[in-house]
Structure 1
C-alpha cells in the first residue's frame, strides 16, 4: 500500500534517515515512535508528498487516498464547524459543489439551450453523490463532531470563534469523516478529554483502512495499534504488536545486543592479548598473523543505543497537618450556570484525589476554589495549617518572564541553588545542552509546561493541585513525572485525561455529575471496576 524504500533525509546538519525502509499495509494500525526531533512529522510529510526524500523513494499504490492530520490546522473562520468538516471530505465535497452548481444552472433561464446536457450531467453527478453516501454526510459530520464532544450550538456556530484546541478537533473530524484508504494522524489525542479519547479509540479500531499515528498517550496507543515503526538513529525498525509489546521487545533486544557485545569484547581482548604477547617471537609469527587477519574480518557488534532516560527525585516536602483542605456548603455559579450548590468535600493528608467529570462539570473550578484563585459565592473553603500548596494550571505558563532564558528563570527562582543542581533539574525536565539558553517566549507549550513543573517540584510543596499536568508532555517526560510523583509523600488533587497517569497516581476519585458529587475510595482502576465505565460521560 505504502512503501518507504531506502530513504535518506537530512534537515540542515541533522541527519534524520539513512537508507531506511518500511512497508505499511492495508488494515494495519501503526504507531510511529521515536524521540523528539527524530523525524516523525517529516516522515508523514514525505508520505503525503509535501517533502521529498534526499535519496530513495516513497511509493504509494495507485488510487490510494491519504488523510493527514497535523497540529498545524491553518485558518478557519466564516462558516460553521459542520460545513468546515464536510468541506474536507475529498471527492464527495467536490461532487457536492458540482451538484450545487448544476442546480443553479438548471434554474438559470439564460442556459435553457444547454438544459439537456445539464440534466444529463446532473443525473450522473447525483448518482455519484449517492454512491459516495453524500446525502448522509451532514448527519455523519454531526455524529463525528458529537463524538469529539461538540454541542449542537458549537457545530452550527462560527468555527472562527472556537479556541485553538476545538479547531484541532474540527480538523481531526474532517479527516475522520473523509475515511481515506490511509490515515496519518500526528498527535490526535492532544486537546481531547477522556470521553472524546475513548470515542476516538473505538472509531479508529473500527476503521478498516491503514492507520499510522503518533501519540504521547500510551494507553490510547496501546489499545489501537497492532504494529510499531520506530525511528532511531536514522533507521526504521518494525515491531508486530502494541506499544507495551514493543517496549518489552526493545528491552529484550537491548539486553541480547549488550550480552553479544560483551561476549565479543571479551573474545577480542583475549585475541589482542595473545597477539601482544607473541608478536615479537618468530616461533609464533604464523599464529599471530592468522589471528590478526581473523580480527580484521570480524564484523563488530555495536553496543545498544541507549535512550536517554531522565529521572527526578523529590526532596522531601515538609509534613502538613491531617486536614489539608475542607469545603463546607460551597456554592459557585457563572452567570445563570450553577456549578456547585451545598458542596461538602474534605481532603486529608496523603489523599491523592483525581477529579472526573465531563466538560463544564466544574473540575477546574474546584481546583481554583481550593487554590484560592476563585472565590465561592457561598460557604467556606479552608486550607489546613502547615499546608504549602503548589498549583499547576495552564495559566501558570503565562507567569514565566519571556525575556529570561530557561536557565535564568531557574536561577531567578532559586538564587541559593548551585549551578550544578539547576543544570541537573533542567536536564530531568528535558532541557539539555543549548535548550537552557532558549528565551521563555520562544518555548513551545510542552516546554513551558515542563519548565513550570520543574520550578514547582524543585522545592516541593506538601499539597499539589494539578490541572491537566500531562498536556503537551511526551511519553518519556510523563513516565519520569509519574515515577517521581509515585514517590511523593504529600497530598494531591488533580485533573487529567491521561488514563495511565490517573491509574498510577490516584487513591481516591471525586466524580462530578449532573446528579451530584460522588466520592469513591480506591484509585481510578478501582473506580472503573466499580462503575463499569472509564469516565462519567460514558455511563449508561
Structure 2
C-alpha cells in the first residue's frame, strides 16, 4: 500500500535518511522506533505528502485513505466533542452541522416567519443524514469517546473548555472513527489513563487496516504490532515480530557484527604486521605486494552503531525510620464531592506502593496529601522519622526558569556540586554536548520531565513520590529509569499508567474504587493475576 524507496532527507543541516527503503502492506501493524530526533515524525509527514524526500520517493496506492494523528491538535472551540469527532468522518459531518443549525433555528422566536422553509429544509437534510447513516455515526462517535474515558457531559460540552490532553483524545477519536485504510499514529498512548489505553489496544487489534505507529509504551506496542521498522543512522531496518523480539534481534545482530568486526581487525593487524616486517626485503617483495593487493580488495566490516546508552546510579540515600507515612482517619472533599472519608493508610520502609484507580478516584490527591501540597479536611497525615522526600509532579515542570539554560538551572539547584558531576548527570538524562546550553523555555515536555527528574535523583531522597513519572519519556530513558529505580533502596509511592513500569517496580497495590479501598500484597503482576483485570475501571 505504501512504498518508501531509496529516500534521502536532510533537515536543517542534519541528515535524517540516506537511501532508506521500507514498505507498509495491507493489514500490517508496524511499530516505528528510533532515538528522539531520528526522523519518525518526518517519515509520517512524507507519507502524508506534507513533506517531500530530497531524493527517492514515497508512493501510496491509488484511492488509499490515510488518517494521521500527531501531538499538534490545533485549535478546537465552539463545538461539542462529539461534533468535532464526527467532523473527521467526511461528508456526513457537513450534513450534521446543518442539521444542528436547523434544529436551533426551529426554536428561535425571531425566525417564526421563516418556519415553513426551515421545516421543509430540515426534512431534506434529515433524509440525507439518514442516507449517510448519520445517526449510526453519532452512536459510534460516542462509543469511541466513551472508550477514551469521556463522560456524556464532556462529549456534549464545548471542546474548547477541555485541557490539552483531552483535546488530544478528541483528535485521536476522529481518526479512529474515520477508520481509514491506513492509520499513522504518532504517540497515541500519551495522555491516556490505563483504562483508555487498554480500550485503544483492543480497538487497534480489531482494526483491519494498515497501522504504522510510534509509542513510548513498550507493553502497548508489544500487544499490537507484528513488525518493527527502526530508524537509525539514516537507514530503515525492518524486523518481523513485536518490540520485545526486535530488542533481542537487534542485540544479537550487534553481537554478531561486533564479533565479525573484531575477527577482521585481528586478521588485518596480522597482515599489516607481515607487510611492515618484510616490505624492505627483496626476497619477500612478491608476497608483500600480493598481501597489499588483498587488503585493498577486502570489504571492511563496520563496528555496530552504538546508541548512546543512558545509565543512572543512585547515590546511597540516608536510611529512614520504619514508618514512612501514616494517614489516619483522613477526609478530603472538593466542594460537594467527597474524595476520601475515614482513610487509614500506612507506608512502611522499602515498600513500593502503586496507586490504581479510574480518573477522579483520588490518585493524585493522595500523593498531594502525603507530600503536604494539600491539607486533609479531617484526620492527620504524619511523615516518619528521618524521611527525606522527593516529589515528582506534573506541575513541577512549570516551575523551571525559562531564562536559564539546562546547565545553569542545575548549577542553581546544586551550587556546591562540581561541573563534572553535573555534566555526568546531564548526560545520564539525555542532555549531552550542546543540549546543556538549551534554554529551559524551549525544552520539549520530555526534556523538561527528564531535567526535573535529574535534579530530584541527584541528591537522593529515601522516599520517592512519583505522579506519572514516565509521561513524555522515550523508551530508552524509561528503561534507564526503571533499571535505576529497581536498584533503589528507599520507599516509593507512585501513580503510573505504564504497565511495564508498574510490573517492574511495585511490591504493593492500593486500589481506589467507588466501593472502597483495597490493598494487595505483591506487585502489579500479582494484582492482575488475583483480580483478573489490568485496571480498576475494567472490573467485570
Please, what TM-score do these two structures have when normalized by structure 2?
Answer: 0.94
Aligned-residue offset at 1:416: 1.1
Question: Within 5 Å, which residues of 2 pair with 1:26-37?
Answer: 26-37=26-37
Aligned-residue offset at 1:90: 3.0
Asked if 1:145 corresponds to 2:145, the answer is yes
Counterpart of 1:366? 366
Distance change >3 Å, CA 329–CA 100, structure 1 → 2: closer
Give the distance between the partners of 1:97 and 1:332, measured in 2 at CA. 43
Counterpart of 1:15? 15
Aligned-residue offset at 1:231: 0.4
Counterpart of 2:335? 335
- Kept in 1, the 8 Å contact 2:181–2:210? The answer is yes
Question: Within 5 Å, which residues of 2 pair with 1:245-284?
Answer: 245-284=245-284
Question: Within 5 Å, which residues of 2 pair with 1:298-337?
Answer: 298-337=298-337
Any idea what the Cα deviations from partners look like across 1:114-165, whole Å, max 9, x if unmatched? Answer: x9xx98x998x679x44xx443100000000000000000000000000000
- Kept in 1, the 8 Å contact 2:129–2:135? The answer is no
Counterpart of 1:346? 346
Question: Within 5 Å, which residues of 2 pair with 1:464-483?
Answer: 464-483=464-483
- Kept in 2, the 8 Å contact 1:507–1:523? The answer is yes
Counterpart of 1:436? 436
Helix, strand or coil at the partner of 1:274: helix
Counterpart of 2:378? 378
Asked if 1:154 corresponds to 2:154, the answer is yes
Counterpart of 1:403? 403
Distance change >3 Å, CA 102–CA 415, structure 1 → 2: closer
Any idea what the Cα deviations from partners look like across 1:379-418, whole Å, max 9, x if unmatched? Answer: 1111111111111101111222222111111111111111
Question: Within 5 Å, which residues of 2 pair with 1:185-224?
Answer: 185-224=185-224
Give the distance between the partners of 1:537 and 1:122, measured in 2 at CA. 37
More deviation in 197-206 or 282-291?
282-291
Any idea what the Cα deviations from partners look like across 1:357-384, whole Å, max 9, x if unmatched? Answer: 0000000000000100111011111111
User: How many residues were matched structurally?
Assistant: 529
Any idea what the Cα deviations from partners look like across 1:448-469, whole Å, max 9, x if unmatched? Answer: 1111111111111111111111
Question: Within 5 Å, which residues of 2 pair with 1:81-120?
Answer: 81-93=81-93
Helix, strand or coil at the partner of 1:88: helix
Question: Within 5 Å, which residues of 2 pair with 1:163-174?
Answer: 163-174=163-174
Give the distance between the partners of 1:91 and 1:156, measured in 2 at CA. 21
Helix, strand or coil at the partner of 2:307: coil
- Kept in 2, the 8 Å contact 1:228–1:242? The answer is yes
Aligned-residue offset at 1:91: 4.7
- Kept in 2, the 8 Å contact 1:80–1:158? The answer is yes
Helix, strand or coil at the partner of 1:302: coil
Aligned-residue offset at 1:109: 6.5
- Kept in 2, the 8 Å contact 1:388–1:463? The answer is yes
Aligned-residue offset at 1:92: 4.2
Give the distance between the partners of 1:295 and 1:395, measured in 2 at CA. 60
Distance change >3 Å, CA 100–CA 381, structure 1 → 2: closer
Aligned-residue offset at 1:97: 6.6
- Kept in 1, the 8 Å contact 2:92–2:129? The answer is no
Helix, strand or coil at the partner of 1:212: strand
Give the distance between the partners of 2:332 and 2:459, measured in 1 at CA. 32
Counterpart of 2:516? 516
Aligned-residue offset at 1:93: 3.2
Distance change >3 Å, CA 295–CA 102, structure 1 → 2: farther
Counterpart of 2:108? none
Give the distance between the partners of 2:95 and 2:343, measured in 1 at CA. 55
Helix, strand or coil at the partner of 2:79: coil
More deviation in 251-260 or 280-289?
280-289
Distance change >3 Å, CA 101–CA 145, structure 1 → 2: closer
- Kept in 2, the 8 Å contact 1:25–1:210? The answer is yes
Distance change >3 Å, CA 410–CA 122, structure 1 → 2: closer
Distance change >3 Å, CA 5–CA 98, structure 1 → 2: farther
More deviation in 9-18 or 267-276?
267-276
Give the distance between the partners of 2:191 and 2:441, measured in 1 at CA. 22
Distance change >3 Å, CA 97–CA 415, structure 1 → 2: closer
Please, what TM-score do these two structures have when normalized by structure 1?
Answer: 0.94
Give the distance between the partners of 1:83 and 1:519, measured in 2 at CA. 41
Question: What are structure 1's unaligned runs of at least 5 residues?
Answer: none
Give the distance between the partners of 1:210 and 1:145, measured in 2 at CA. 22
Distance change >3 Å, CA 495–CA 122, structure 1 → 2: closer
Aligned-residue offset at 1:101: 11
Give the distance between the partners of 2:99 and 2:283, measured in 1 at CA. 94
Give the distance between the partners of 1:330 and 1:135, measured in 2 at CA. 47
Give the distance between the partners of 1:122 and 1:3, measured in 2 at CA. 42
Question: Within 5 Å, which residues of 2 pair with 1:408-427?
Answer: 408-427=408-427
Aligned-residue offset at 1:284: 1.9
Moved over 6 A (4+): 97-104, 107-110
